[in-house]
Amino acid sequence: AQKITQTQPGMFVQEKEAVTLDCTYDTSDPSYGLFWYKQPSSGEMIFLIYQGSYDQQNATEGRYSLNFQKARKSANLVISASQLGDSAMYFCAMTLYGGSQGNLIFGKGTKLSVKP
Amino acid sequence: DVKVTQSSRYLVKRTGEKVFLECVQDMDHENMFWYRQDPGLGLRLIYFSYDVKMKEKGDIPEGYSVSREKKERFSLILESASTNQTSMYLCASSLRTASSGANVLTFGAGSRLTVL
């Protein structure tokens, strides 16, 4: 069965430092996509970054990068130069392209707190 | 600005009541989803729909039903609310799944339901 594991329930980081949020996934399907979403205290889920299983390069979006290690089945999110506004829940998610109609399987999330 | 709108941000209902959670998207998306979010459990898929009048069970459909009579509207129904259905409910939509590429889910702000 497909599964996403986020082993860090909570993380602290000093403002302006970089932080890595861990995510491992489990699937035997060769075609899949990996996502990271941010959920501030307001509750809305915000899409951050995407990595396809066949993508050769690690995805980057501004201060966000996805460290994709396919053999290890990991898709860690790296946030550079943390800001106070980065304090939120972060969810790793996966979709399979083999007929799942696009629904995402989510991990349990990591709560990131940025300290001034 | 594209949007997924959930009609009620906060609801308080009594055990045994019938509850309707409404979701409307203005992006002409084919796929729509209902997730439930609980602390420590992440997001779990209740139902999804990939076309009008079509529906598929997710991971936790028990106690819920859905309705999709129009493309833009996806309703979640609790036929007889119970206290264990107290939760945050998130609606999302996306384009029809391609064989690859980022099928990003766009989420609504959530509906926090309390069943007394």
B2 — pLDDT class (breaks 50, 70, 90): low
- pLDDT attached to residue A1: 75
Q: Is the pLDDT of residue A100 over 80?
A: no
| Minimal Cβ distance to A43: which of B58, B88, B104 | B88
E strands of chain B, at which residues?
Answer: 4-6, 10-13, 19-25, 31-38, 42-49, 56-57, 65-70, 73-78, 87-94, 106-107, 111-115
How much is the mean pLDDT over chain A?
A: 92
Nearest to B27 by CA among B99, B113, B104: B104
Q: Is any Cβ of chain A less than 8 angstroms from the Cβ of B90?
A: yes
Chain A environment of B90 (Cβ under 8 Å): 45
How much is the mean pLDDT over chain B?
A: 91
- pLDDT attached to residue A35: 94
Q: Is any Cβ of chain B less than 8 angstroms from the Cβ of A33?
A: yes
Tell me how far apart the alpha carbons of residues A46 and A40 are, in angstroms, rounded to a whole number. 8
Buried b (16+ CB within 10 A) or exposed e, A26-49: ebeeeebbbbbbbbeeebbbebbb
Tell me how far apart the alpha carbons of residues A70 and A94 are, in angstroms, rounded to a whole number. 13
Interface test mutation site (partner A, options B56, B100, B111, B113, max chain A beta carbons within 10 A): B100
Q: Is any Cβ of chain B less than 8 angstroms from the Cβ of A92?
A: no
Digit-coded pLDDT (tens) for B10-23 = 999 999 999 999 99
Residues of chain B with pLDDT > 70, as a percent, come to 93
Question: Could you tell me which residue, B1 or A4, shows the higher pLDDT?
Answer: A4
Q: Is the pLDDT of residue B5 over 80?
A: yes
| Minimal Cβ distance to A108: which of B41, B98, B109 | B41
- pLDDT attached to residue B104: 86
**Facing residues of B87 across strands?**
B113
Q: Is the pLDDT of residue A12 over 90?
A: yes
Q: Is the pLDDT of residue B111 over 70?
A: yes
- Do A100 and B32 form a contact (C-beta atoms < 8 A)? no
Contact A31 B108 (CB under 8 A): no
Mean pLDDT in residue range B86-104: 80
Q: Residue A59 corresponds to which tokens in the numbers above?
A: 């995805």
| Minimal Cβ distance to B97: which of A4, A93, A97 | A97
Q: Residue A99 corresponds to which tokens in the numbers above?
A: 């007929």
Q: Is the pLDDT of residue B98 over 60?
A: no
Tell me how far apart the alpha carbons of residues B40 and B5 are, in angstroms, rounded to a whole number. 25
Name the 3-class secondary structure at A85: helix
B99 — pLDDT class (breaks 50, 70, 90): low
